[in-house]
Amino acid sequence: MKLSHRLDKLPPYLFVEINRKIAEKQAKGEDIISFAIGDPNMPTPQHIIDQLCQAAHDPANHRYPETAGLPELCQAIARWYQKRFEVTLDQNQEVLPLLGSKEGIGHISFCFIDPGDVALVPDPGYPVYSMSTLLAGGEPYFMPLTEKNDFLPDLESIPKKIAEKAKLLWLNYPNNPTGAVADIAFFQKAVRFAKKHRLAICHDAPYTEVTFDGYQPPSLMQIPEAREVGIEFHSLSKTYNMTGWRIGMAVGNARMIDALFRFKSNLDSGIPQAIQRAAIKALTGPQNCIAEHNTIYQRRRDKLVKTLNDIGLRAKLPKASFYIWARIPDGYTSVEFTAELLDKANVAVTPGVGYGNAGEGYVRLSLTLPDDRLDEGISRLLNWDRAKRK
Ligand SMILES: *Cc1c(COP(=O)(O)O)cnc(C)c1O
């Protein structure tokens, strides 16, 4: 058997060792509190599930769906963008439903990147941007996101030769893993940069609805010229606790949407229609569930950030996303610190370096665990710190 060389390009998965340790401890009967996974612990709202069950009984939804998605779903997405961002989209040409946004993020690289091509990728960042670049034969050029720059890439510092060669610019705000946000002025700068260097922007925006303190993140599509150069990926996963159902969307530049559609139509046969019906319900139905979830995340955020600062880490209150990006004390690498918390406190976090070299010196904690587990995790962190000080 001869596997493709393409697969050799994927670096070893950094979390393998930590996951092995967690599994080993659990096998011994130890209870691990995990802040490591970004997956809402709360269920999908009832009215959405009811719609899904009803749609599952309808034989019209038992057959192959179209890759392009139900017209009613494309319309619901366009209307949601209108209502939420005052952005007008052509539902026929500027909207494409996806099997979760990860699927589209992975596949768009194959629509742009030929062997040797460059994609500009944030570091730290969601791993799929660089992995799909590598799988397509391209080279990621990493843009460091630093605290000094509020975790925004410094586009001006990208060497001219790289910028000219690059075909894609990846952005992600509200950001995973740093919890940082971007304003309209930054998006304007990014659109100008993309036009100047004739490259396409992919903005990954699954956290625009997971927000705190009344903050409302913008959409890249609010920049009038954005649809000349870019698309935005969005998802129902984080907004409506629907990670398990796999549904998201890409919106924006018609040529990019068409390229992604043509690529996908050779790989998948669309999104199960009952799930599309549930998504329509989510986007057009009552929206109070979003504020309810955010109130819960905000309470967890406040407690956890306070604890982290009390025990010698440095973390700010994020305005959006359900992640805390915490600076670890000097004298540890992020992997060493993660291992120590796991060994001594039975608490799992993710080492920042797992999201890229610029993530070294940080760990990420997710707020997506039940309140009682969060409280138990906090008391373990406090006990660990107290024992260390003795
Ligand atoms: C969760 C997440 C996604 C993927 O979401 P799905 O729509 O469930 O595939 C994409 N990007 C980032 C940054 C995420 O955190």
Per residue in 313-365, pLDDT (tens digit) is 999 999 999 999 999 999 999 999 999 999 999 999 999 999 999 999 999 99
Per residue in 9-26, pLDDT tens? 888 776 777 888 899 999
CB 246 within 8 A of CB 86: no
Expressed in angstroms and rounded, the spacing between residue 101 Cα and the centre of ligand 1 is 6
Mean pLDDT, 10 residues at a time, over the chain (390 residues)? 90 78 93 95 98 98 96 98 98 98 98 97 97 96 98 98 97 98 98 98 98 98 98 98 98 98 96 98 98 98 98 98 98 96 96 96 98 98 94
CA–CA separation, 219 vs 231, rounded Å? 10
**Residue 101: which of 200, 238, 229, 6 has the closest Cα?**
238
**Residue 169: which of 183, 186, 155, 150 has the closest Cα?**
155
Best residue among 101, 131, 173, 321 to mutate for probing ligand 1, ranked by most atoms within 8 Å of CB: 101
Q: Of the candidates 252, 284, 316, which is a domain's last residue?
A: 284
Q: Of the candidates 261, 284, 307, which is a domain's last residue?
A: 284
* CB of 101 closer than 6 angstroms to any ligand 1 atom: yes
* Residue whose CA lies nearest to ligand 1 atom number 3: 102
Looking at the fold, whether 263 and 309 belong to one and the same domain comes out as: no
Looking at the fold, whether 267 and 299 belong to one and the same domain comes out as: no
Looking at the fold, whether 131 and 221 belong to one and the same domain comes out as: yes
CATH number of the CATH domain containing 322: 3.90.1150.10
CB 220 within 8 A of CB 235: no
Reading the block at residue 29, the tokens are 């009967």
Number of domains, the chain: 2
pLDDT score, position 331: 96
From the CA of 236, give the closest atom in ligand 1. Answer: 7
From the CA of 321, give the closest atom in ligand 1. Answer: 15
pLDDT score, position 14: 67
pLDDT score, position 199: 97
Looking at the fold, whether 262 and 378 belong to one and the same domain comes out as: no
Reading the block at residue 306, the tokens are 């306070």
Looking at the fold, whether 225 and 302 belong to one and the same domain comes out as: no
CATH number of the CATH domain containing 68: 3.40.640.10
Expressed in angstroms and rounded, the spacing between residue 17 Cα and the centre of ligand 1 is 23
Expressed in angstroms and rounded, the spacing between residue 202 Cα and the centre of ligand 1 is 13
* Residue whose CA lies nearest to ligand 1 atom number 10: 102
Count of other CB atoms within 10 angstroms of residue 157: 9
Expressed in angstroms and rounded, the spacing between residue 51 Cα and the centre of ligand 1 is 23
Looking at the fold, whether 35 and 57 belong to one and the same domain comes out as: no
Looking at the fold, whether 254 and 192 belong to one and the same domain comes out as: yes
Expressed in angstroms and rounded, the spacing between residue 93 Cα and the centre of ligand 1 is 23
* CB of 177 closer than 6 angstroms to any ligand 1 atom: no
| Helix H or strand E segment including 162 | helix 160-165
* CB of 204 closer than 6 angstroms to any ligand 1 atom: yes
pLDDT score, position 205: 98
Write out the residue range of the structural domain in which residue 318 sits: 5-43+289-389
Expressed in angstroms and rounded, the spacing between residue 171 Cα and the centre of ligand 1 is 13
pLDDT score, position 39: 94
Looking at the fold, whether 179 and 293 belong to one and the same domain comes out as: no
Q: Of the candidates 284, 305, 340, which is a domain's last residue?
A: 284
Expressed in angstroms and rounded, the spacing between residue 206 Cα and the centre of ligand 1 is 6
Looking at the fold, whether 111 and 257 belong to one and the same domain comes out as: yes
Looking at the fold, whether 208 and 257 belong to one and the same domain comes out as: yes
Looking at the fold, whether 195 and 68 belong to one and the same domain comes out as: yes
pLDDT score, position 143: 98
Looking at the fold, whether 226 and 115 belong to one and the same domain comes out as: yes
Among residues of the chain, what percentage have pLDDT more than 70?
A: 100
From the CA of 248, give the closest atom in ligand 1. Answer: 7
From the CA of 98, give the closest atom in ligand 1. Answer: 7
CB 19 within 8 A of CB 351: no
Q: Dihedral sign for Cα 251, 254, 260, 265, please.
A: positive
pTM, 2 dp: 0.97
Expressed in angstroms and rounded, the spacing between residue 195 Cα and the centre of ligand 1 is 27
